[in-house]
Amino acid sequence: MTTMNDFSAAEKALLDTVYDTYTVDRSGQTMAMRKLFMRTFGPFLKGGRGLELGCSDGFMTEMIAERVDRLDVVDGSKRFLELARRRRLPNVQFVYSLFEEYETTIRYDYVFASYILEHVRDPVTVMKMAASVLAPDGLLFIVVPNARALSRQLALHMGLVTDLKELTENDRNHGHRRVYDRVAVNRHIAEAGFECVSQGGVMLKILADFQMDRLIADGTLTDRHIDGLYALGLEYPDLCGCLYSVCRIKS
C-alpha cells in the first residue's frame, strides 16, 4: 500500500530527476513563449496576491512578480527553488512543497499553473487545491502543451509518432505524464469546479522545440516572426504549441 509519505518522496525524486532536462535560459523558444504568456495574462492582472505553482528557473516568476503586489511560489524541487531565489525578488516568498500538500490560510487573487498539469499525477486534485486557496473572485491561469500543435501533426505525418497524444522522448525526459487537447483540458477544468473566462492558444508552433531554438538562435526567426506566430495562434488556437485557460470558480 502506497502511503502519502511514499508518494511525496517519489514525486520529489522525480522532480530532481527531470531538473537537468530543462534549459529555459538556453531555449529561445521557451523564453519567447513565457513572454507571450504574460502578454496574454497581463490584462487580467491588477496587483493583488498571487500563487505560482512551479517556478523552473524563475524566469516567469520574475515577470509575474512585476505585475502583482505579493507572490508566493510553491515547488517540490529544491534545485528549482534555489535557481529562482537567485533572482532576489523582494515581493516573492518561496515554499518547498508538493502542490498536493500545500496548505495555507491565504486567499489568492491569482493562481498560476503554467506547464504544470501535464506533470502531476492527478491534475484535478491540484486544480481543486487551487480552488481551495483562491479568493471568491480569484482567477486560475493554466497553460498546457497542445496535442494538436502543428509541429506534432507534422510529426504524425512524418511517421515520427503514431498518435497525437503519444508521449515523445522529449515529453518523457521532461517528466510529462500526458498531452492535452482542448477537450481534455476543459473536462479537467469542469471536474475541478471551474469555468473558463478566456481560452485559446499561444503561438502557432511550426516545428519541434529544438528546431525552433536553432531558428531563433541563428536569427532566422526574429521578434517579428514570433509576433506573427502569436497573432496567427489567436486565429488558429488548435495549431498552437500550448493551450491557455483563464478560469474562475463556478458559482
Count of other CB atoms within 10 angstroms of residue 162: 8
Q: How confident is the model at residue 92, as a pLDDT?
A: 97
Domain 4-249 top-level CATH class: alpha beta
Domain limits, the chain: 4-249
Distance from C-alpha of 248 to C-alpha of 251, rounded to nearest angstrom: 9
Please list the pLDDT of the chain residue by residue as tens digits (251 residues): 556 576 677 666 666 666 556 555 568 899 999 999 999 999 999 999 999 999 988 999 999 999 999 999 999 988 899 999 999 999 999 999 999 999 999 999 999 999 999 999 999 999 999 999 999 999 999 999 999 999 999 999 999 999 999 888 877 877 788 999 999 999 999 999 999 999 999 999 999 989 999 999 999 999 999 999 999 999 999 999 999 999 999 98
Kindly report the pTM of this predicted structure.
0.90
Residues with Cβ < 8 Å from 191, sequence gap 6 or more?
124
Distance from C-alpha of 113 to C-alpha of 126, rounded to nearest angstrom: 9
Distance from C-alpha of 57 to C-alpha of 21, rounded to nearest angstrom: 12
DSSP secondary structure string for all residues of 153-191? HHHHHTTS-SSTTPPPHHHHHTT----B-HHHHHHHHHH
Q: Which grid cell is 202?
A: 499561444
Q: How confident is the model at residue 251, as a pLDDT?
A: 84
